[in-house]
Structure 1
Amino acid sequence: MQGLEQYLIDIIYHFKYIGLFILLTCGLVGVPVPDEFLMTFSGFQTSLGRMDFWITLMVATLGSFLGMNLSYWIGRRLGIPFLHKVAPYLHLNEKKIARAEHWFQCYGDRLIVIGYFFPGFRHFTAYFSGMSKLHFGRYTVLAGIGAFLWALTFITLGRILGVHWQTIAHILHHYLARSGIVLAIIVFLIYLYSVKTKQGKSYELNLFKKYFP
């Protein structure tokens, strides 16, 4: 076990629910915390009777939910103007930013729930939800559902796995991280396809108007 992971586990071991709540909140804001690893460990602790399953689930859900909401408001406050300021350093132009914003408004909210399960991708959905000014009520509902399902999955997993929780957690984190990259690529391809489809329909409509005014 790496030093950081051991240190974070010690925090949960000694401070239990408070430690789990703070770490997950920070992790969802973007602090490099192994969220799934910590929840699986917490699930293991419930199997030993050191933590209560339902309280652990509630605390993990609330911590994750709070972190996602903080990320949303950071993205919303900094907003697209902030993105314009750093755009030259990221090799972005006004057209690319406008397309990205439009894409997220069309498809992004559908990824908020599933995005929880992919390290790195969940932060993208949270910040860009705020930047694109996705309706906060809708975002809250989706973020709450995602937080509950995410916490339920890994805490239950840790409880079931028992002493084997650590090995499985490492394997899952490794493959989920890779899957997150694949998911991001798939989403980007869907975006490109939607743009091409719209351009094709627009061309056909203009052609129709030209010959059948």
Structure 2
Amino acid sequence: MDVAKELISQYGYFAIFGMLVLGIIGLPIPDEVMMTFVGYLSSIHILHYGLAIVISFSGALSGMVISYFLGKKIGKPLLDKFGKWIGLTPKRLETVRRWFDKYGPWTIVFGYFIPGIRHVTCYLSGMNEMKMKKFLTFAGSGAFIWCIVFITIGYTIGVI
């Protein structure tokens, strides 16, 4: 987390955007802690609250779109080829696909608040060929709510 704090302190909004893109794709970046820190920096007027939300949302959504396309282009072929090695038989993959068709959009929205789940849902959306408009609607909603919640928590902590 110290590296994230240092990057945000030096590069501001560019660091926030970049770390969220990389964190959503799957690098081990403590997104929730970082977002709370961004909110705190907004409360002491180092960052602008509204701009921090917009930049954070843009970074999160960009990471989600990249993950979606990675899932769409290479995820399914990789699972078809190597899935059996980790217990993902074609039957299990079909079960996951059906479950995701039914619950996937809401998993994207609410799963955004669960580390690990938010990363996987984007790849699964691409692998299951969810329509881009539908994906952006649900992913954007989840990302926007998530950004507002954690930045506001940090902002509130800084004001207290």
Computing the radius of gyration from Cα coordinates, the structure with the larger value is 1
Residues 139-158 of structure 1 aligned to structure 2 (within 5 Å)? 139-158=135-154
Q: Is the 8 A contact 2:64 2:139 kept in 1?
A: yes
1:69 aligns with 2:31: no
1:52 aligns with 48
Using structure 2 for the length normalisation, give the TM-score: 0.96
Residues in 1 aligned to 2:15 and 2:54: alpha-carbon distance in whole angstroms: 14
Residues 17-166 of structure 1 aligned to structure 2 (within 5 Å)? 17-162=13-158
1:6 aligns with 2
Using structure 1 for the length normalisation, give the TM-score: 0.73
Q: For structure 2, list consecutive stretches of 5 or more residues without a partner in the other structure.
A: none
**Residue-pair matches, total:** 160
Residues in 2 aligned to 1:112 and 1:81: alpha-carbon distance in whole angstroms: 22
Give structure 1 regions of 4+ aligned residues with deviation exceeding 2 angstroms. none
Residues in 2 aligned to 1:79 and 1:158: alpha-carbon distance in whole angstroms: 35
Q: Is the 8 A contact 2:41 2:47 kept in 1?
A: yes
By relative contact order (CA 8 Å, sep 6+), the higher-ranking structure is 2
SS at match of 2:113: coil
Q: Deviations over 1:132-166 (max 9, x none)?
A: 001110000111111111000000100101288xx
- RMSD, aligned α-carbons: 1.2
